[in-house]
Chains A and B, each alone.
Chain A
């Protein structure tokens, strides 16, 4: 550093060509690495370090509040393999992601196509319909908690009023009702994300191509598949993978709606790990959370292929 600072100031023409010999910190590479430092410190300390610490913890019998613990190898994972609640947790997480994503995609695509038209107040309406995705999920989940309440649910009230049901629906009373309710709330929250991402992709659809296709006698459906879909293909794929990853690793919606109940039947990885941590079984909790990793790596790998193939 001091050597560089002591160097006499070079004449400007020396750095006319960026690749020419220039002051050390004026060259691109050293400066680029220097720029990485503050961010990397945080990411290493609070991401890389906990990641490896988590792997280590998952191989121990560490309990909260106890200093002593020992290395137990894969025992925590073996326990999970024979734990029926964990099996359900894996199944629930997969169901949760696989069921909701197609709905979000199709409904989001529909909304994007509707919003892609010219109409009065469009900016305002667009922002309004994005609200479910904007407000804190913990808070909007509370609205759903009440909408699905066993006594106060207005949905039950309306259905009863119309004579469709005799008694209130107990939405969170059994596993499948609860999972259904969770999925509805998730679709509600995620749909606008798809809509607005796809809407951005639709801006890139060439109007000329569309008109040419129309002149050639293609109807709206044919034009959608021949012109629109190829243009928005990448953005649809990327948005879908994003959504799969975020749905898969969700916590707050399920935490607020069911806390994994009734009788531990609606847990996802996040809530089950949190519960294990509440029972102070840190090693076990770390193993539950880390079980997400193979799935996440798979999704991320696919996503990476699409992003790279776009270069």
Chain B
């Protein structure tokens, strides 16, 4: 069961160069695996600065890791030759956050669709190209006659985003990495876009990596989830376990703070700790130590490893030191 796409113990540090500027550790020792045989939906959740977007960009091959490897079909991305890279490029596609910036304002939206067809199916005739575009648009619930031939500013944010999903579909990918695809879209249109992602997953067997800060949509869409905090994976596993019965103090805090659209269920049952002074903390400490209501001495000395508290969940917290340490870096696989 070789994984299709894998991040193996990757770290990303920004600002490492000849000039000793401040180094930012965006990601630390993260591992994610997407399987080859069964398509799955995995969510990578966290707040801004958690490293989720960095991880997404590493998986897409847009950024290179500082340490660790990104492997596609078992081969390191940096060692792929021309044709293998093209295959990777075709099979791993993306949907980005801003539904406006992703379009070149000079062209009509058709350009976003004809570009990849032109590169990966150069022999396609005009008729075939048109057919491919229409099929992709219909698969996401858009009507080609209402969408094609328009400029980006003539469509709504929701429509633009769905065209982006259609674009991702065109190349018949194996994986779509969606980086906060609905956070800049109106609430009423979000459901439609997420639904098209789900439909695409079921109909074409495409695995989805859903990057978000919204735990409720992550819960609705995915099977597995990775919770990230300041560059580390703090908890990962089956979404029902992680969200409904969170174990890591950060996950608990986060879920408690979600403003639920139910006036009777109040947020904030849990008390929040203000950020403590971080003087006694080092780069090796647990990243959550300065805010953790259950912090212990050992947390300040060394970051905890991932413990396997359940067959389908791992947590990085000394509170669960009784559990076995996760066997290998692939432990985040459900």
Q: Do A and B bind each other?
A: no
A residues within 8 Å of B by Cβ?
none
B residues within 8 Å of A by Cβ?
none
